């Protein structure tokens, strides 16, 4: 799958499942956004297969030296699983997969981790980066278990300024020293809208939003 094909598949899948919507949405920051993304509504085998292939495509530049994938609870768990399957099936790379629990288990085998023990170079997979708090937690957890977080793949990079001039993704890259890549970003959505008929109003609002907040 080519990168451009992967981006188009992801956008069209997200629209079909209602994960990507256009309209007016008030964000936690108070900004009124012309689009909204929620990876939690992908809910079929077909959707997860496509998601896995798209995340695997985005991970390819970091693939050579990877030892494992980490999926933060909760949304990162199916994403890491689907991507791990796609990487083995389509690219011949069989990686260990690890998840965490929101709360440590106090009975049975106990602990906070599920799946493979964390070891070596680890790629984190999640849906979005907002304030970066969840990614920082994952990085700390991976390091506490003796492994090395080397990068992050997210579904959508909103490419907009936070409190300062940097985006949330740029802040994570600068403060944590990690490579962050995304399946799609705001610019990809705008490009896709420009190729569609009947969505001119959404395209105009997206362009205005990018002009005001984009990086």
Enumerate the active-site residues. 105, 107
CB burial string 62-93: b at 16+ within 10 A, e below: beeebbbbbbbeebbbbbbbbbbbbbeeeeeb
Q: Which residue has the tokens 């920051």?
A: 29
Question: In what helix (H) or strand (E) does residue 142 lie, and over which residues does it extend?
Answer: helix 133-144
Q: Report phi then psi at 100, rounded to 5.
A: -125, 165
Beta bridge partners of 182: 154
Question: How does strand 32-37 pair with strand 148-157?
Answer: unpaired
């Amino acid at each position: 799958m080519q990168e451009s094909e992967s981006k188009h598949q992801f956008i069209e899948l997200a629209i079909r499942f209602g994960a990507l919507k256009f309209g007016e949405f008030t964000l936690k920051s108070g900004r009124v956004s012309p689009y909204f993304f929620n990876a939690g509504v992908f809910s079929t085998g077909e959707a997860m297969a496509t998601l896995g292939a798209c995340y695997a495509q985005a991970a390819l530049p970091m693939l050579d030296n990877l030892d494992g994938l980490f999926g933060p609870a909760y949304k990162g768990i199916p994403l890491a699983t689907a991507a791990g399957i796609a990487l083995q099936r389509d690219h011949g790379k069989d990686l260990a997969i690890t998840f965490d629990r929101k709360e440590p288990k106090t009975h049975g085998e106990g602990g906070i981790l599920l799946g493979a023990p964390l070891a070596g170079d680890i790629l984190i997979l999640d849906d979005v980066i907002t304030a970066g708090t969840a990614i920082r937690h994952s990085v700390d957890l991976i390091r506490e278990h003796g492994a090395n977080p080397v990068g992050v793949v997210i579904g959508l990079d909103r490419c907009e300024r936070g409190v300062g001039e940097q985006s949330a993704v740029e802040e994570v890259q600068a403060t944590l020293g990690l490579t962050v890549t995304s399946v799609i970003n705001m610019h990809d959505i705008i490009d896709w809208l420009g190729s569609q008929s009947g969505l001119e109003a959404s395209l105009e609002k997206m362009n205005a939003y990018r002009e005001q907040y984009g990086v």
